[in-house]
Amino acid sequence: MTPDRVAAILDFLALADRLKLVERRGRIPLPDGTTRRENSAEHCWHLALVALLMAEEVAAPIDLARVLTMAVVHDLVEIEAGDSYAYDPAAQATAAERERAAADIVFAGLPADLALRLRAAWEEFEAGETAEARFAMACDRAQGFLQNVLSQGLAWREHGVAAPTTHPRMHPAMAVDPAFAALIGALYARAETGGMFAGAAG
C-alpha cells in the first residue's frame, strides 16, 4: 500500500468512529433498571449477529460475506445524515435523498476502488432487490424490533407507536422467509404479552 492509500484508509476509519455517536430511538436495558439509547455502531454489530444466526434457517442459500458486508456498512451514511426514525414520517420522507447526499460525503475520502466497493454494498442494501439485501433488511428490522422488546417497548410508547403502525415495516421482513416470519412473530408475541406497544393495556 502507498502511504496515501494507508492515510486514506486510516482517515476513513477515524470518520467511521463517529457512527458510535449516532443515537437511535431503540433503547438498551442497563443493570440499574434504566435504559440508554442504542447507537448505530452497536446496532450494526447486533444485526450482523442476527444474520449469523439466521443464515442457515432460510430456504434459499445466501452469500454470507455480502450480507455481513451490508450489515457493517449500511448505516455509515448516518454519520452525515443522522438516524431517521422508522416511525417518523417526516424523517422517512426525506431520508433517501439526505442519505444519498451523505454517501457522497462519507465515501469521498476513500481510494476509488474501496469507495466503489463499500458504496456498492450500501446501494445493494438500499435497493433491496437481491436475496442478500432482502435477508439483510429482515435482520435489520428484526434487530430494531428486538431492541424495543428488550427495553419493554419504551421507545414505542414514547413515540405513540401501536402494533399496527409497525406492520408496514415488519410484514415485508416477515415475507422474506418463513424463518423470519417465525422469529418476528415470536417477537410480536412477546411485545403483545408484555403490553409494550403504545395504547396497550399492559
Q: How far is the CB of 53 from its own copies (least distance, A)?
A: 5
Binding of residue 115 to its own copies (CB under 8 A): no
For residue 1, give the DSSP letter.
-
Q: How far is the CB of 128 from its own copies (least distance, A)?
A: 21
Binding of residue 155 to its own copies (CB under 8 A): no
Binding of residue 57 to its own copies (CB under 8 A): yes
DSSP string of 139-198?
A: HHHHHHHHHHHHTTTHHHHHTT--HHHHHHHHHHHHTT-HHHHHHHHHHHHHHHHTT-ST
CA neighbor of 148 nearest in space, from 184, 201, 99, 96:
184
Which C-beta is closer to its own copies: that of 33 or that of 89? 33
Binding of residue 82 to its own copies (CB under 8 A): no
The binding track of 121-150 with respect to its own copies, each residue x by CB under 8 A or -, is ----------------------x--xx--x
* C-alpha distances out from residue 15 to 39, 44, 54, 78, Å: 15, 16, 30, 11
Binding of residue 9 to its own copies (CB under 8 A): yes
Place of cell 445466501: 62
Interacting stretch for its own copies, rule CB under 8 A, among 40-48, 77-85, 167-175, 192-200? 40-48
26, three cell numbers: 431503540
> Which position among 23, 35, 52, 85 is part of the footprint of its own copies (CB under 8 A)?
52
Binding of residue 118 to its own copies (CB under 8 A): yes
CA distance 82 to 102: 9
Q: How far is the CB of 141 from its own copies (least distance, A)?
A: 14
Binding of residue 199 to its own copies (CB under 8 A): no
> Which position among 23, 35, 64, 162 is part of the footprint of its own copies (CB under 8 A)?
64
For residue 17, give the DSSP letter.
G
